[in-house]
Amino acid sequence: MTDLAAVKRALAAQRIETPSWAFGNSGTRFKVFAQEGVPRTPEEKIADAAVVHRFTGVAPTVALHIPWDKVDDYRALGEYAKSEGVAIGAINTNVFQDNDYKLGSVTNPDAGIRRKATDHLLEAIDIMDQTGSRDLKLWFSDGINYPGQDDLRLRQDRLHAALQEAYDRLGDDQRFLLEYKLFEPAFYATDIPDWGTSYAHCVELGEKATVCIDTGHHAPGTNIEFIVAFLLRQGKLGAFDFNSRFYADDDLMAGAADPFQLFRIMYEIVRGGALDPSYGINFMLDQCHNIEAKIPAIIRSVLNIQEATAKALLVDRDALFQAQAEGDVLEANAVLMDAYNTDVRPILAEVRADAGLDPDPVRAYKASGYQEKIVAERVGGEQAGWGA
């Protein structure tokens, strides 16, 4: 039987990181639809992230993206975040927008460009030192579009050299999270195309190197929960970038396209004892809200992850393990489906009420007047959106 009190404690302790870039104007490569009231500065992004935390109670950190969130004084930015009731989370690097990176960044055949890209990774660690961040998030768009364009093995050697230099620069309480992506913008061969490649590099480097799973970065039909289970077993799962996708890297609201998949992923997290923040996994949203309002979409995403988690916590694991041991295929599946089909919104409403929060964060945000306030105040100036 499931201990409902334990479920509520686990939900109250859950932590989900929000991304600064999701609050600004962002979208597809074809069009970015600008919205009123979006942040003009990193401080305003943090202020919006703090609002999400105030209404949900489970989003106390905000990830930064450099140079999109570049400031002169990162210590002061960290103090500002603290004054708003949140903290700086992962520092995300950007080695994909500069013209120099057309043929790659750390895997580029030009040694000077590789040096430039690696120096940016080291710069990000300096920012971690100043903000108190534990996590360095690394994603590389590096790859090639045509057979023969570059040497596949040499590119892996160059990648390792850059990763090793960044790894050696990390402090004792810091780590990096190595993300992967099946394709785009490289289409013939991506230098880190899958979790196995990321895992192999992390194993070679050491315990401070862990894998980041982006739920939108896989081939259709990929069993992501298997990847989760495997990496947890190996102690190499460091982070998630949660989003939803219908075809590729769509970066829609988490749980929008396949909430059952999100439930299955969260079950493996619960099953592996990795939900508690003390385990160390960084559960982060990585989304671009192009046609929907920014803050409500992020709140909805947080709620979707909470609902999937609540259902995962309600799985009767004793009954499931017994059915599995007996080879009772239908009963084992039924145990999972019973949990998934449970309406967990009342449980989550109780968790929020116990924390002094409105049981309906979306409704509370709409009634707060914050959206109208930022639309009125954030007029003029350059909006800090995609690529800013």
Peptide bond before residue 346 is cis, with ω within 30 degrees of 0: no
Rounded distance between C-alpha atoms, residue 27 and residue 289, angstroms: 6
What pLDDT shows up at residue 126?
98
What long-range pairs does 348-355 form, CB within 8 A, spacing at least 24? 348/11, 348/303, 348/306, 348/307, 348/310, 350/8, 351/8, 351/11, 351/12, 352/56, 352/57, 354/8, 354/12, 355/12, 355/57
What long-range pairs does 229-233 form, CB within 8 A, spacing at least 24? 229/268, 229/271, 229/272, 231/195, 231/199, 232/268, 232/269, 232/272, 232/274, 233/272
pLDDT tens profile 114-136: 999 999 999 999 999 999 999 99
Rounded distance between C-alpha atoms, residue 199 and residue 20, angstroms: 27
pLDDT tens profile 296-321: 999 999 999 999 999 999 999 999 99
What pLDDT shows up at residue 381?
67
Among 260, 295, 387, 282, residue whose Cα is nearest residue 51: 295
Counting DSSP H helices and E strands in the chain, the numbers are 14, 10
Q: Are strands 143-144 and 189-190 parallel, antiparallel or unpaired?
A: antiparallel
Rounded distance between C-alpha atoms, residue 20 and residue 284, angstroms: 11
Rounded distance between C-alpha atoms, residue 108 and residue 117, angstroms: 9
- pLDDT band at 32, cuts 50/70/90? confident
Rounded distance between C-alpha atoms, residue 216 and residue 249, angstroms: 5
Rounded distance between C-alpha atoms, residue 213 and residue 217, angstroms: 8
Q: Tokens 């929000």 belong to which residue?
A: 18
Among 296, 301, 261, residue whose Cα is nearest residue 283: 301
Among 49, 29, 33, 30, residue whose Cα is nearest residue 41: 49
Task: Compute the mean pLDDT over every residue in the chain, rounded to the nearest whole number.
Answer: 96
Beta pairing partners, 130: none
Query: Which tokens is 241 given?
Result: 């970038």
Beta pairing partners, 175: 135
pLDDT tens profile 211-246: 999 999 999 999 999 999 999 999 999 999 999 999
* Residue 186 near residue 143, CB atoms below 8 Å: yes
> Which amino acid, residue 387?
G
Among 69, 177, 179, residue whose Cα is nearest residue 131: 69
Q: Is 111 helix (H, G, I), strand (E, B) or coil?
A: helix
**Percentage of the chain exceeding pLDDT 90:** 93
Looking at 64-105, list the stretches that DSSP marks H as alpha helix, in order from N- to C-terminal side.
Answer: 74-83
Distances (CA, A) of 251 to 215, 243, 291: 9, 5, 12
Q: Is the pLDDT of residue 384 over 80?
A: no
Q: Is the pLDDT of residue 386 over 90?
A: no
> Which amino acid, residue 17?
E
**Percentage of the chain exceeding pLDDT 70:** 98
pLDDT, mean of residues 87-108: 97
- Please tell me what DSSP assigns to residue 207: T
Beta pairing partners, 18: 62
Q: Is the pLDDT of residue 177 over 80?
A: yes
Rounded distance between C-alpha atoms, residue 134 and residue 171, angstroms: 9
What pLDDT shows up at residue 26?
80
Higher pLDDT, 250 or 44: 44
Residue-wise over 43-65: b if at least 16 C-beta within 10 A, else e?
Answer: bbbbbbbbbbbbbbbbbbbbbbb
Q: Is 254 helix (H, G, I), strand (E, B) or coil?
A: coil
Q: Which residues contact 368 (CB under 8 A, 6 or more apart)?
A: 51, 55
Q: What CATH class has 14-309?
A: alpha beta
Q: Is 145 helix (H, G, I), strand (E, B) or coil?
A: coil
Among 49, 54, 43, 38, residue whose Cα is nearest residue 79: 43
pLDDT tens profile 8-20: 999 999 999 999 9
